[in-house]
Structures are given as structure tokens and as C-alpha cells.
Homo-oligomer: A and B are copies of this chain.
């Protein structure tokens, strides 16, 4: 399923009502095609599928102003909002959801309350530790790890990514604890479509104290 449903639901939600091409543009603006499978085909498919499943409501519209085929506009339903929140929470808390879901969830995390985000991230760290332990145990049977040979590098890779993933998560936890960003119920929300002004001292791209390397 990947991250596309989360992305599309979130984009529709922010717009209130939107047609496929707008979603497509938003996702491209967010750079989502770089770190997820947000390609046109997938987006239109997700819209149709989720409309069929009652997560979105579809409105057929007249052939529109600027040329092209007739458009369909979508609005998120109540069930869609529930699904959106579920995917959002899963993306933050569960490493199994994959890095693209995490990235997408980061983009929408401010729609939750600060305290909940911190809980979810704590759960993420815990899940990573559990997984790390499972990997090392599974691949270190009675005979000892020596017999694995170069195959052991695969395990090494996964352990390394669990460790660095947890490290990154703790960095984010620190920033959020220290008051970074504006979460739900904390004043005017950050709309992900260029906010005009609003200096945020925690914006990244510059090195945060405590970050890795």
C-alpha cells in the first residue's frame, strides 16, 4: 500500500476539495515523487480506489476551464479522515510502514497534538529496539555467528539501520520536546503550501545541536 494513500488523503484534506491534478501538483511541490511512488498513475488510481471504498466522496464536474478531459473533484469523508489519522499514526510509530510513510507522516505530523506525536515517536524507538533484538537473536543461533560468513553483512546492515533510525528518531523527539513547530491546538496551523513569513527557529537544513554527524 505504501505511502500514497496517506499522501493523497492528506492533500485532499488540506484542500477541502480537490481534483487529481491539484493533488498531483501538491505532491510534486513537496518533492514526494523523489521519496515515494507518487506518480500520476498511482495518484489517480488511489483517488478512484479510495472513492470506491468510501474514504473520499467524488463529484463529477463540468469539463473545466482550461482544456482537457472532464475532471472529478474529491472531498474527504469521515471514514477517510479516520483512515488518514490511522495511517499518519502508523507512519510515525511503526517502522514497518517504511521510510516513505514516515516521510509522508512527517509532513502531516502537526495535525496531531504534540503530546501524541511524542508518544508515537517513543513507540517507534521501542519498535526499532524490539526489531533489532529479534534480528540479532534470530541470526545468532547456537552454533555462534561465525558460520554466517559474508551473509552476516545482511544482518549487520539491518542492525545498523535500526540503530541509526532510532538515533534519528530521538533527535526529532528532542526537537519536538524543546518546542519546535506548531502542533494541533497551538495556534494558527502551518499550511504546507508556502506560509509566507513565519520564521521557525527549528526549521532544518541547518544543523541541529545533537544531530548525528
Chain B residues positioned under 8 Å from A148 (CB to CB): 200, 203-205
Known: A31-B154, A107-B150. 10 other contacts (CB 8 A): A106-B153, A109-B150, A109-B153, A145-B206, A149-B190, A150-B180, A150-B190, A155-B205, A156-B205, A156-B211
Q: Which among B138, B149, B180, B203 is the interface contact of A200 at CB below 8 angstroms?
A: B149
Least Cβ–Cβ distance between A20 and chain B, in angstroms: 22
Interface size on A, residues (CB 8 A): 58
Choose one: B139, B149, B157, B203; the contact of A147 (CB below 8 Å): B203
Q: Is A146 an interface residue (CB 8 A)?
A: yes
Kindly state the separation between the CA atoms of A167 and B212 in the bound complex, as whole angstroms: 11
Number of this chain's copies in the complex: 2
A residues sitting closer than 8 Å to B (CB atoms) are 30-31, 34-35, 99, 102-103, 106-107, 109-110, 135-136, 138-140, 145-158, 160-161, 163-164, 167-168, 171-172, 180-182, 190, 192, 194-195, 197-201, 203-206, 208, 211-213
28 CB < 8 A contacts A-B:
A30-B151, A31-B154, A99-B157, A103-B154, A103-B158, A106-B151, A106-B153, A106-B154, A106-B157, A109-B153, A145-B203, A147-B194, A147-B197, A147-B198, A149-B182, A149-B190, A149-B195, A152-B203, A152-B205, A153-B172, A153-B204, A156-B205, A160-B164, A160-B168, A161-B168, A163-B212, A163-B213, A167-B213
